[in-house]
């Protein structure tokens, strides 16, 4: 049986106009794979990097890393999913911008009954990212309740989840965002402080908030525009946790800078190292599901676009017009 699916593909890297809706044939799952029929698809900034060529991948490329749906067929050796299961995932390889696909089962998790499909599609990649950042990417001196952490782009998809999760852990999250309205949103979601980095000097404000000490860790997904100043927000032995480049990749830097600024640590993390095994993926997902089902983390879906309007969705994300999570509807 040949199944057909609409899917968003690029033939070459470039702007949003490179994304075209095409029809593709979908086969049967092989060993370790499933076929999933999507109910909703998550939009992520990594999709922009993959579309534009910041992260180079083989072409033609079907985009998308996050979705929810119903398992339609299960390949040999897959034991954690069965036909008919509600499921959601953040997973490589890209290809989530479609109606139905075959994909590795490893990162696909059963979606608890209390979480609807749209929420599932809006939270897996972003929520699992916050899960590993706040729990595993920690300064050598550790994090204790009451500690300040600096989190850039706090009103975005990852950001609003981080604000709430940090509050649940007792951390004082200092968020940055690009407008006063976004700062208000970050505060409403649990940020202890919010700084409009388009009009305020965030280094001075962080120093003021922390009594001159600085923070133990900066979570920085903005990249080029915030890198240097973020280092200045850290206290000695602090951790610069870089995990994205929304403003452009961080340029090469001299390690001696880290000594001069107080024997700092730097790491550049990606979710997909943390999702390397079925066991680690499920453990992280269980933590995320518990936070969402327990009400400590609410997933804000602030934008919805039909799949055929994916170009507009990318334009709005890149133009910093979105807040919280965005989904593509089918
Ligand atoms: N490494 C990982 O494991 C991992 C996993 C997931 C996400 N990420 C990264 O985390 C970040 C957030 O992802 P997301 O999908 O939730 O996106 P998002 O935060 O909803 O959108 C990106 C935000 O970055 C800010 N930004 C600052 N400078 C920008 C610029 N020059 N162009 C565009 N945006 C700019 C904007 O907020 P303001 O207007 O408030 O500045 C914008 O809304 C991205 O960098 C993403 O790549 C990394």
Q: List the residue whose alpha carbon is closest to atom 25 of ligand 1.
A: 153
- Which residue's CA lies nearest to atom 37 of ligand 1? 153
What pLDDT, in 10s, does the model give residues 208-239?
Answer: 999 999 999 999 999 999 999 999 999 999 99
**pLDDT over 90 percentage in the chain:** 99
d(CA 275, CA 129): 10
Is residue 1 predicted with pLDDT exceeding 90? Answer: no
Q: Which two tokens stand for residue 194?
A: 């919010």
pLDDT attached to residue 2: 78
Of residues 133, 202, 134, the one with CA closest to residue 170: 134
Query: How high is the pLDDT of residue 31?
Result: 98
The percentage of the chain sitting over the pLDDT mark of 70, rounded to a whole number, equals 100
Q: Tens of pLDDT along 58-105? A: 999 999 999 999 999 999 999 999 999 999 999 999 999 999 999 999
DSSP E strand boundaries for the chain? 3-10, 20-26, 33-42, 61-62, 66-74, 86-90, 100-104, 108-110, 148-151, 172-177, 193-196, 215-220, 234-242, 265-268, 301-306, 325-329
Query: Considering Cα of 17, then 45, then 124, then 43, what sign does the dihedral take?
Result: negative
Q: How far apart are CA 216 and CA 143, in angstroms?
A: 8
Q: How open is the CA angle 293-172-46, to the nearest 5 degrees?
A: 65
pTM: 0.99
Q: Is 149 helix (H, G, I), strand (E, B) or coil?
A: strand
Residues 274-303: what's their mean pLDDT?
A: 98
pLDDT tens for each residue of 140-191:
999 999 999 999 999 999 999 999 999 999 999 999 999 999 999 999 999 9
* Cβ–Cβ < 8 Å for 91, 82: no
Residues with CB under 6 A from ligand 1: 44-46, 125-126, 129, 153, 155-159, 177-178, 182, 221-222, 225, 243-244, 246-247, 269-271, 317-318, 320, 322
């Amino acid at each position: 049986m040949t199944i057909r699916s609409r899917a968003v593909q690029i033939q070459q890297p470039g702007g949003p106009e490179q994304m075209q809706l095409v029809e593709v044939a979908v086969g049967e799952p092989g060993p370790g794979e499933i076929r999933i029929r999507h109910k909703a698809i998550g939009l992520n900034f990594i999709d922009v990097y993959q579309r534009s060529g910041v992260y180079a991948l083989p072409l033609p490329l079907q985009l998308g890393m996050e979705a929810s749906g119903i398992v339609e067929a299960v390949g040999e050796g897959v034991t954690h999913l069965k036909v008919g299961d509600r499921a959601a995932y953040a997973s490589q390889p890209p290809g989530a911008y479609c109606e139905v696909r075959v994909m590795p089962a490893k990162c696909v998790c059963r979606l608890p009954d209390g979480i609807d499909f749209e929420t599932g599609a809006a939270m897996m990649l972003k929520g699992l990212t916050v899960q590993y950042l706040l729990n595993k990417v920690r300064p050598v001196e550790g994090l204790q309740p009451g500690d300040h952490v600096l989190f850039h782009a706090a009103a975005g998809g990852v950001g609003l989840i981080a604000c709430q999760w940090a509050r649940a852990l007792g951390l004082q999250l200092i968020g940055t965002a690009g407008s006063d309205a976004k700062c208000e949103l970050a505060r409403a979601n649990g940020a202890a402080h919010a700084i409009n980095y388009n009009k305020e000097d965030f280094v001075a404000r962080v120093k003021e908030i922390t009594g001159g000490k600085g923070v133990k860790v900066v979570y920085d997904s903005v990249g080029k525009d915030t890198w240097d100043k973020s280092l200045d927000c850290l206290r000695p032995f602090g951790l610069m946790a870089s995990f994205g480049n929304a403003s452009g990749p961080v340029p090469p830097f001299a390690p001696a800078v880290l000594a001069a600024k107080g024997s700092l640590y730097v790491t550049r993390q990606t979710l997909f190292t943390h999702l390397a095994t079925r066991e680690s993926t499920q453990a992280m997902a269980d933590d995320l599901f518990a936070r969402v089902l327990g009400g400590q983390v609410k997933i804000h879906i602030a934008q919805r676009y039909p799949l055929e309007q994916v170009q507009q969705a990318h334009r709005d994300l890149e133009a910093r017009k979105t807040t919280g999570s965005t989904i593509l509807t089918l």
